[in-house]
Structure 1
Amino acid sequence: MGCCDAPGLMPIEEALNKMLTPITPIIDTITLPLAEALGYVLAKDIRSPINVPPFNNSAMDGYAIRLSDFEQSTTMKMVGKSFAGAPFEGEWPAQTTIRIMTGAQIPSGCDAVIMQENTTTDGDLITFDQPNIKTNMNIRPTGDDIRANDVVLNKGARLTARDIPMIATLGISHISVYRKPKVAFFSTGDELKPLGSELEPGQIYDSNRYGIKPLIENFGCEAIDLGIIPDCQETLKTTFENAQQMADVVITSGGVSVGEADYTKDILEELGQIGFWKLAIKPGKPFAFGELDTAWFCGLPGNPVSAVLTMYVLVQPLLAKLGGNSEWKAPESIPAITRSAFKKAPGRTDYQRGIYRIENGQFVVETTGNQSSGAFRSMSLANCFVVLERERGSVEVGETVQIQLFNPTLF
């Protein structure tokens, strides 16, 4: 153990390895209408059954010409029109042109489309002012975007709002996806009260569930909210037993510290096994991971910033692997110059809340202020984490630090 290691605290990298190694992705699949598939993970590659576009079409509003006609004269008679969904049909006499709209099918024999801005009209007579006409000018060829049988999305990709319309262009109405992991969660503590109630001395509102639920859903999982559970060992045990029957993962908020009323650890030892307890991370040291009889367990600290941070850094990759999301990646670290000082003691990797901006092409970052694990205002103001290494001490203005921009799950 190095001089800066905190005794008894597991490094984050080791904890993630212990969490992810035993996880086996869910293999249960369902078939969904495309309109209902947002956020699900593909169970099969998506191959295109067609070319996109399925025919040569015009990239411009203009006129279809044949180069052989254009070589004879730059003025031609318009003899027909081609619209999107209503292509030109019939004979196309020599020395004539066809009016065509963007997206319309290219008439047989057409070599180029001249955009209407480069023409003048006199009734049905069209004079072209386009120099240097090239074959296939302003023509989108068949399969220009996607060729038939191309793999457009890989198995394991989580479907985004950009993917759904792309799949729709292929005419695919139903797709095979993995079912979403089910995550049951609850808060523990006699001091917690639901929103809308009056606080008595020593009580606080339960805010953690309001941060945990959207994160579970943003991670691509089904959230099962079991509410607030009091500090009663028998009630907690019953809740754990019920939760593991309905979910793949059970997440608690609070009750994983060392207080006299923290029963979670004892119950976990009775119903399953503990993987680890206490990490070299700040905030979030009393994070727990283990296994129940039929579900995985993640115990989050009770402080609100610690709960969200450990969900983001530790639980997010676990749920991504469990859900089969093979394309998930951890947030990228970016060097930034500090515009404010950051207090830190060596011993734990510190995720401080920061606000970054770009000045003259360089990332710069400053603190959001109060970095207490109970001060959620600083989290609300932030747009990144300032990740200070375990062995590092306090940081002065002008030093280089690593920042992680929030990924979409925190927006």
Structure 2
Amino acid sequence: MAQLSDDCFAFGGALLPVDEALAELRARLAPVAGIERVPLHGVVGRILAEDLIAGVDLPPFANSAVDGYALRHADLSHDVDTILSVGGRVPAGGALGRQVQPGETIRIFTGAPMPEGADTVMMQEDAEPLPDGRVRLRPGLKRGANAREAGEDVRAGAVALAAGRLLRPQDVGMAAALGYDALAVRTRLRVALFSTGDELASPGAVLPALKVYDSNRFTLHAALTRLGCTVTDLGILPDHPAAVASALTEAAPAHDLLLTSGGVSTGEEDHVKAAVEAAGSLFFWRLAIKPGRPVALGQVRGTVFAGLPGNPVAVVVTFVHIVRPLALLLGGGTAPPLLRFPVRAALRYRKKAGRREYVRASLVRGEDGAIEARSFPREGAGLLSSLVETDGLVELDEATTTVMPGDAVAFLPFSELL
């Protein structure tokens, strides 16, 4: 099992741009997850541990892409209809067993092997069977049309799926098409999850006076589960450094990542810093990002620790930019750049230069049919409704100071983030 270097999180100081933080993560983190072989039915959502090499061509033989007529392109007229005899029939799984002769065509069906000598397939919609058993074919078809070559999808010996990929249903289909019934995947990253704060109560209990129900723990649990992690919910930690330190120390040996929300700022009641320093080592990242600036990273007894802010919107933003790539990299995966989609702003916004900001927005269609991003009508990093009632985040980079209606902006849909 790979270990992290002692100085893995030894960066801090001034506000750190998000891209620099991600570059540091990619450069310094090594996987801690092991490798196991899992049947194909159980690999979706897992991280591929080894390159998947194609052992066969895909498709393994030349075949027809449509129902129609296989023929020699040289027999087709370029200007007028061509009439050819029908010399046989090849269904999927069958074979003609001989070479196509000049002046004949073969009735063929999707997936059926191309007869020897045939190089083109005329779709049945473009062919007219005649009463005498022959078929009339339209002109203008290109050589090789509707015929799939052996290996045109994937060549034997090629990397069909690269190690580090978070496997999707279509990836599982690719593995099956190449004959694999099991894959080498990373063991699930083990995450210990806490919330911190005396003001929190767990859902399901009677809500005491002056407390609020804890939502962050459940948001993070759901997001980590979608990444294929095994998450242990260890509840709410009180605002007491010794209790936090004890809980983290106890959880560290059985987990690969310790994750908390709340208590990572610099106020008198923010006790995570002292607790982690007592149990291990801690470095603060003050990210140049809004919402979500304070993020704590460190180690407790060799296990990576990450502490997120307490406001629900800040939790989501910092999870997307720090914890998601952190979990993927520790789990042996890759953390590709987020997909940003260009849309038109239907909002006005001003911000300071030098900081990346995220505006919760819904996508709407403008009068001209173009997609526009409309901001949530209220601001505040504690508004859960702003996450529920919007489609994603408008990203305003460090150089941007003003956005006006009609400006082009980058949009990150929640469907790509969580």
Do they superpose with TM above 0.5? yes
**Partner residue in 1 for 2:154:** 146
Q: Is it true that 1:350 corresponds to 2:350 in the alignment?
A: no
1:42 aligns to what SS in structure 2? coil
Q: Is it true that 1:304 corresponds to 2:312 in the alignment?
A: yes
**Partner residue in 1 for 2:6:** none
**Partner residue in 2 for 1:4:** none
| Residues 155 and 230 (structure 1), Cα distance of their counterparts in 2 relative to 1, 3 Å cut | same
**Partner residue in 2 for 1:367:** 375
Contact kept? 1:51, 1:143, Cα under 8 Å = yes
Offset of residue 244 of structure 1: 1.0
1:74 aligns to what SS in structure 2? strand
Q: How does 1:9-408 map to 2 (within 5 A)?
A: 10-13=15-18, 15-16=21-22, 19=25, 21-26=27-32, 28-66=34-72, 74-76=83-85, 78=86, 80-89=88-97, 97-121=105-129, 125-132=133-140, 135-276=143-284, 278-326=286-334, 328-332=336-340, 334=342, 338-342=345-349, 344=351, 348-356=355-363, 364-388=372-396, 395=402, 397-398=404-405, 400=407, 402-406=409-413, 408=415
CA-atom RMSD in angstroms: 3.3
Offset of residue 182 of structure 1: 1.9
1:209 aligns to what SS in structure 2? helix
Contact kept? 1:26, 1:178, Cα under 8 Å = no
The one-letter amino acid of 1:282's match is K
The one-letter amino acid of 2:198's match is D
Contact kept? 1:119, 1:126, Cα under 8 Å = no
Give the distance between the partners of 2:216 and 2:335, measured in 1 at CA.
Answer: 28
Contact kept? 2:362, 2:375, Cα under 8 Å = yes
| Residues 89 and 16 (structure 1), Cα distance of their counterparts in 2 relative to 1, 3 Å cut | closer
Give the distance between the partners of 2:76 and 2:21, measured in 1 at CA.
Answer: 72
Deviations 1:117-168 (A, max 9, x none): 3433356712323325665443222222222112222222222222221221
| Residues 375 and 94 (structure 1), Cα distance of their counterparts in 2 relative to 1, 3 Å cut | closer
Offset of residue 83 of structure 1: 1.0
Contact kept? 1:158, 1:327, Cα under 8 Å = no
Give the distance between the partners of 1:204 and 1:141, measured in 2 at CA.
Answer: 63
Offset of residue 317 of structure 1: 2.2
Offset of residue 173 of structure 1: 1.6
The one-letter amino acid of 1:11's match is L
Give the distance between the partners of 2:154 and 2:67, measured in 1 at CA.
Answer: 23
Judge which range, 122-131 or 209-218, deviates more. 122-131
Offset of residue 297 of structure 1: 1.0
Contact kept? 2:99, 2:117, Cα under 8 Å = no
Offset of residue 277 of structure 1: 5.5
2:41 aligns to what SS in structure 1? helix
Offset of residue 257 of structure 1: 3.2
| Residues 199 and 79 (structure 1), Cα distance of their counterparts in 2 relative to 1, 3 Å cut | same
Deviations 1:218-273 (A, max 9, x none): 34433222122333444423321222112111011112234544332221111111
2:219 aligns to what SS in structure 1? helix
The one-letter amino acid of 2:44's match is L
The one-letter amino acid of 1:31's match is R
The one-letter amino acid of 1:47's match is I
2:326 aligns to what SS in structure 1? helix
| Residues 27 and 262 (structure 1), Cα distance of their counterparts in 2 relative to 1, 3 Å cut | closer
Contact kept? 1:215, 1:410, Cα under 8 Å = no
Gaps of 5+ in 2: 1-12
Give the distance between the partners of 2:358 and 2:66, measured in 1 at CA.
Answer: 52
2:349 aligns to what SS in structure 1? coil
Judge which range, 151-160 or 277-286, deviates more. 277-286
The one-letter amino acid of 1:183's match is V
Contact kept? 1:317, 1:330, Cα under 8 Å = no
TM-score, normalisation: structure 1: 0.84
The one-letter amino acid of 2:15's match is M
1:41 aligns to what SS in structure 2? coil
| Residues 341 and 107 (structure 1), Cα distance of their counterparts in 2 relative to 1, 3 Å cut | closer
TM-score, normalisation: structure 2: 0.83
Deviations 1:154-205 (A, max 9, x none): 2222222222212211111222222232221111223222222222221111
Give the distance between the partners of 2:208 and 2:414, measured in 1 at CA.
Answer: 38
**Partner residue in 2 for 1:5:** none
Give the % identical residues. 34
Gaps of 5+ in 1: 1-7
